Amino acid sequence: MSSELRQTYVKAGLGEPELLGEFVVGGGPDFAGYSWLVNTMRSLAPMASRLGILLEPLGDLDTLVQRLRSEAANATRDFWSPPYVGAFLRVAK
């Protein structure tokens, strides 16, 4: 939706929104983003199941944080979350 958010506001007749985007970046074995990712996956699991999206390739979510930390300790990869984009309008009164 993030790539269509502005146009959705405009098509709905709401006007041109202001947009703000951000994402989480980091790495290393102590990076808090791994817990963030796993908690996000847990929250999406029920909808993924209803939509037939398999999460089994991720393995056990209860061990995923530790597996991500272990891989980070053995590699030089950075973690980049998906972008989060928000939109808002200012309405004059």
Q: What pLDDT is stored for residue 9 in this prediction? A: 94
Query: How do residues 40-93 score in pLDDT, each as one tens digit?
Result: 899 999 999 999 999 999 899 999 999 988 887 777 778 888 888 999 998 877
Q: Would you kindly state where each structural domain of the chain is located, as residue ranges? A: 2-88
Q: What is the pTM of this model?
A: 0.62
Q: What pLDDT is stored for residue 87 in this prediction? A: 93
Res. 3: pLDDT tops 90 = no
Res. 11: pLDDT tops 90 = yes
Q: What is the C-alpha to C-alpha distance for residues 68 and 64, in angstroms, rounded to an integer?
A: 6
**With contact defined as beta carbons under 8 Å apart, do 21 and 2 qualify?**
yes
Q: Buried (b) or exposed (e) across 53-89, using 16+ Cβ within 10 A?
A: eeeeeeeeeeebbeebbeebeeeeeebeeeeebebee
Q: What pLDDT is stored for residue 37 in this prediction? A: 87
Q: What pLDDT is stored for residue 60 in this prediction? A: 93
Q: What is the C-alpha to C-alpha distance for residues 61 and 43, in angstroms, rounded to an integer?
A: 11
**With contact defined as beta carbons under 8 Å apart, do 9 and 90 qualify?**
no
